[in-house]
Amino acid sequence: MDPASHVIQIGHVIQLSVAPVFLLTGVGAMLSVLSGRLGRAVDRARLVEGRDAATDLERDRLNAELKLQERRCKLIYAAMTLCVLCALLICSVIIGLFASSFFEIRLGVPIGLLFVAAMLAFIAALVVFVREVHLAISNLKFGPR
């Protein structure tokens, strides 16, 4: 293969890998959002843990709040795990694109399957994220108690 055509082929692979790289950026932004939410949930749990309950009713309310924050943290962690899995699968897609070009082997089906798996992981992460947001706002009460 002449060097000029090899450079053109690599340029084409770089063009193909741009879309997965943009998707990777979006997954990184999602991880940042989840990380911030996790930090707030942990801070809220620590604040609640530091309170002393004067009555049994107050103690029950604080325990319920702690259970809610624990459930939120678990959901956020699950969403983060799915996002990381998605990112790893996207990276595998990019590596597969380059490996297919460098070694001139057909990896179209595995690359497609990796991409579909990445999308499924991201969809699952979004579903878990929406569940966590729902859980967070379900405990919101406006006005005096």
Residue 55 lies in a domain: yes
pLDDT at 1: 56
d(CA 119, CA 144): 44
Q: How confident is the model at residue 82 (pLDDT cuts 50, 70, 90)?
A: very high
Q: How confident is the model at residue 11 (pLDDT cuts 50, 70, 90)?
A: confident
pTM of this prediction?
0.87
| Torsion sign, CA atoms 91, 95, 98, 101 | negative
d(CA 43, CA 23): 30
Name the token pair of 89: 């699968």
Residue 143 lies in a domain: no
Residue 145 lies in a domain: no
Higher pLDDT, 140 or 32: 32
Mean confidence (pLDDT) of the chain: 91
Residue 116 lies in a domain: yes
For residue 14, give the amino acid letter: I
d(CA 54, CA 108): 65
d(CA 17, CA 90): 10
How many residues are recorded in the chain?
Answer: 145
Tell me which residue of 43, 76, 48 sits closest to 61, measured CA to CA: 48
How many domains is the chain built from?
A: 1
pLDDT at 5: 74
Residue 144 lies in a domain: no
Range(s) of the domain holding residue 84: 3-138
Largest CA distance in the chain: 82
